[in-house]
Amino acid sequence: MNTSKAIRQYIFSLPDGTLFTTGDLLDLGRRAAIDQCLHLMVKSGEIIRWTPGVFMRAEEINNRVPSALEVAIVKARRFGKEIAQHGNDAAAKLGLCEQGNQTPTYLANGKTSSFLFARKVRIRLHGTVPRKLFSLDRFGESVVKAFWQMGNNDATIELIWKTIDRFNAAQKKQVSAMRSEMPSWMSDCLLFASPTHKHAA
């Protein structure tokens, strides 16, 4: 089977709405032949290139447009990176700052990088240490990330008290379970924000 036929067979066997990357095709032929085939398929309208190296079958464009987050995850994984919610967005979601990032921005292991999505939206991957790469959607991790972004000067004990008081019991438990992942200043603030210490005060 030649490279072009193998690539088409792979692409059209994918479930509807699946994003795929150039890297997914590397076992199907020489890189130059793969790039040429993808270029021709984009030009003929068979596939859409959402960002360099990330594609989707064009026939699905009317049914589903991938989100910036979906594209960022696929793009990052192509280069062995993991992404997570940025602290600014976590803080904004909790009402601790006026607004989050103006463009899609995520934390990622490795160097800081950016790329264009759909030729108009710049997605940014902000390099950070693995310790800060918490889940994208877990509540407790999002709270920790928000406080961490603010830093120990702005995330005071009083602010943490007021924020934690808004949470229900399950949410408080999720935040407390993250203490081993927190810097010492945050862990201490959380300790003094606990009901036991507040009543003692």
Sequence spans of domains, the chain: 3-60, 68-132, 139-200
Q: Identify the DSSP state of 194.
A: S
Each residue's pLDDT tens digit, 2-35: 999 999 999 999 998 899 999 999 999 999 999 9
The percent of the chain in helix, strand and coil, each rounded to the nearest 5, is 50, 15, 30
Per-residue pLDDT tens digits for 70-118: 999 999 999 889 999 999 999 999 999 888 999 999 999 989 999 999 9
Which pTM does this prediction carry?
0.80
Residues near 182 by beta carbon (within 8 Å), at least 6 away in sequence: 144, 148, 190
Q: How far is CA 128 from the centre of its chain?
A: 13
Residue 199 token pair: 């009543």
CATH 2.60.40 fits 3-60, yes or no: no
Please list the residues that pair with 21 across neighbouring strands. 54
